[in-house]
Structure 1
Amino acid sequence: MNTYDAIIIGGGACGLMCAAQAGLLGKKILLLERNEKVGAKILISGGGRCNYTNTGTTIANFISANPDFLHGIFRQWTVEDTIDFFEAYGIRGQEKTLGQLFPETNKAKDIVAIFSKILYETEQDIALNTLVKSVEKNADGFTVHVENPRGEYQYNAKKLVIASGGLPVQKLGASDLGLRIAKQFGLEVVGTAPALVPLTITGKDADWYSSLSGNSVFSKVSVAGISFEENMLFTHWGLSGPAILQISSYWRPGHEISIDLLPNFDLDNLIKQERQSGGKRLVSQLLNDYFSRKLVDALGKYLVLDTKIASLSKADAKLIVDTIHRFKVKPAGDKGYDKAEVMRGGVSTAELHSKTLMSKKIEGLYFGGETVDITGWLGGYNFQWAWASGYAIAQDI
């Protein structure tokens, strides 16, 4: 029977940062990971390149029942701390669009390698291919019962950290373990749902979207007063791409999404300018200046394309402007947890101390990363939360 300062369940971004920082502080940690290697989601993030933070991170980039909770964590570990930490171990960042920071090497495995190096040098224990069966609170701390290919074991520690992630993606070992442990100890869990996830279209319009599969268009996508301007991608099942993934975190079933297909232009003015110069061009020719031929042809379902602009009635001109700038979509649903980047909801921040992330009810029990009701936008924000929460926990265990 082994005893540790802390047991960390989950070898993802939060768990790895927590274990590394605790090791650097001289603590003895056991990291439990159900996969055959740590950092499984890190390794596939950003197409294997790992967008590990965002230079523009603020609490406005997160969804939570209480976003202000983030202040207590982000004061301890900033974006600059993330950049400095990785630079100290040889990884310099290169900024892509919208503040997204990637390793110059473009290799997510280099991020994971840093943590493996720290854990090795600080002599921490890692148990891979290990499934947590149950957790118990006792007078001295916690007992964790596990199972791996060699048999069943139990480990003891004064502190227990739940960094087991959310429900995406099952093939990478995702489960509801963290939520079950929270409920076991009587903690409130905010309702969960897939986030940063493609949206599906069914019914009479399904074939129209499917016919445009592969077409990408820069758009402004809005719902419930929230908007994102990025690329939107038509797919066989509906809509995806960064703009849709972002808005999906705010969309709720039954709600309608508004899409501005030409956010950087005023189509009403463009039509007026065409008329002033004679208006001899067809509607399709004007739209071809801004969209792919395939999308313009598809818009023929809604618009008169073969009419000269000079001949457009006021009603037809208004219909064109409204269709392009206020295209309405009512998604049937989303692609679920296996296609989602993250989970929305989780352990309520009201249950946790805002500096340490320890449970207010259970001494020595901590929750971090995706398990908590903190969901970032697409673009490195969720990693920044994972690193920061892992660091904050490590200071207290």
Structure 2
Amino acid sequence: MAAISAADHGDEVTLLEKNDRLGRKILISGNGRCNMLNTDGDLSHFHGSNPEFAREALAAFPVEQTLAFFRDLGIETRLERKGRVFPASNQATSVVRLLEDWAVRAGIQVVQEADATQIDRGDSFKVTTVDGRSFESDRVVLTTGGITAPTLGGSDDGLRMACSLGHRRTRLYPGLGPLETERSSLHKLQGVRAMVEAEALVDGRVVKRDEWELLFRYYGLSGLVIFNLSEAVAPYVDNHDVSVRINFFPGQDVDQVECKLRDRWNRHPHRS
């Protein structure tokens, strides 16, 4: 998107791609459906240390303008629960193909298998790749992504190169992921899904709550509700008491749940 935007403003653009094809991480996003954005772009959802950066970015490129950008590319979208936006095709491949097509029409020079390892700054910028090639330009946009999914090219190269240019980095934490639990017995529930209300607690204090799908895995807890809670507890898992409280009957009080369980037991006493 950065390359397309620059080309649309008249710049001559060279796009260096580490992999042998563009958009490999896009292809796995949203379980292959490509979760493009969320319509609830309120600043309160930003958890970084520089909220002004997020404020300026959201003001310059709000949700409607983002949707219009994708429509101009030819991508029709669909709105789902909790403001999630997916391509109407439900296929991440359609998003990647349209981005590739737009890049070609914009005249962007795409260089694949160009694994950048160093950026030198002088009168211009020189980007050097692992295999010794070099590319010079007046400006550089560093969009290497995060360190997740190393099999798809994820690494800390971008952070390292940014630091070499004078930027600083704080301690890194997972921003979205599952939680490993101490109770090994949970592996018996592997694969079980449920819509729940969950609370994340640090030293007994609730730090975040959400209601969505829970997925039991052999190592612990996963699913969208856990992903949403994980960023709130990630900085504390090493040195604090972190726990998750799960309500399998959201919106119902204790009496309602007891009545429901008693009724099921009376009708199906042979079931465990």
For residues 84 and 229 of structure 1, the distance between their equivalents in structure 2, rounded to whole angstroms, comes to 30
Report the counterpart of residue 167 of structure 1 in structure 2: 147
**Structural mapping, 1:103-182, within 5 Å:** 103-138=87-122, 140-148=123-131, 152-182=132-162
| Contact 1:144-1:154 within 8 A present in 2 as well | yes
Q: Is 1:197 matched with 2:177? A: yes
Letter matched to residue 97 of structure 1:
R
- Find the partner of 1:184 among 157, 164, 170: 164
Report the Cα offset of residue 115 of structure 1: 2.0
> Structure 1 residue 242: deviation in Å?
0.5
Q: How far has the Cα of 1:244 moved from its partner?
A: 0.7
Are 2:222 and 1:222 equivalent residues in the alignment? no
Q: Say which one has the larger Rg.
A: 1
Q: Which has the higher contact order (CA 8 A, sep 6+)?
A: 1
Q: Matched residues in 2 for 1:113 and 1:64: separation?
A: 32
TM-score under structure 1 length normalisation: 0.61
Alignment of 1:1-397 (within 5 A): 17-138=1-122, 140-148=123-131, 152-202=132-182, 205-206=183-184, 208-223=185-200, 224-251=206-233, 252-253=236-237, 254=240, 255-271=242-258, 274=259, 282=262, 285=265, 297=272
Supply the distance in 1 between the matched residues of 2:212 and 2:178 (Cα, whole angstroms).
14
List per-residue Cα deviations over 1:21-59 (Å, max 9, x = no partner). Answer: 111111011111111111111111112111111122212
**Counterpart residue identity of residue 244, structure 1:** I
Deviation (angstroms), 1:270: 4.5
Cα distance between partner residues in 2 of 1:153 and 1:246: 41
- 1:129 is displaced (CA, Å) by 0.8
TM-score between the two structures when normalised by the length of structure 2: 0.88
Question: Which whole-Å CA distance do the structure 2 matches of 1:283 and 1:65 have between them?
Answer: 51
User: In 1, distance between residues paired with 2:53 and 2:10?
Assistant: 28
- In 1, the alpha carbon distance for the partners of 2:118 and 2:176 equals 30
Aligned-residue identity in percent: 28
1:230 partner SS: strand
Paired residues, number: 259
1:89 & 1:103 partners in 2: Cα distance? 12
Q: Deviations over 1:116-159 (max 9, x none)?
A: 12221121111111111211111x221111135xxx21111111
1:161, 1:109 → 2: CA distance?
24
The 1:44–1:159 alpha-carbon spacing in structure 2 relative to 1, beyond 3 Å, is: same
Residue type matched to 2:225 in 1?
Answer: A
Q: Distance in 2 between matches of 1:119 and 1:89?
A: 10
- In the TM superposition, structure 1's runs of 4+ consecutive aligned residues that sit over 3 Å from their partners are 268-271, 281-284
Per the alignment, in what secondary structure is the counterpart of residue 5 of structure 2?
helix
| Cα distance in 1 between the residues matched to 2:149 and 2:142 | 17
**Could you say what the CA RMSD is over the residues aligned between the two structures, in angstroms?**
2.1
Query: In structure 2, what is the Cα distance between the partners aligned to 1:234 and 1:226?
Result: 20
CA contact (8 A) 1:26 1:122 kept: no
Q: 1:283 to 1:196 in 2, by over 3 A?
A: farther
- How far apart are the structure 2 equivalents of 1:35 and 1:242? 29
Deviations 1:371-394 (A, max 9, x none): xxxxxxxxxxxxxxxxxxxxxxxx
Structure 1 pair 270–170 and aligned structure 2 pair: CA distance change class (3 A)? closer
Taking the aligned partners of 1:266 and 1:81, their CA distance within structure 2 comes to: 43
For 2:44 and 2:152, the matched residues in 1 are separated by 29
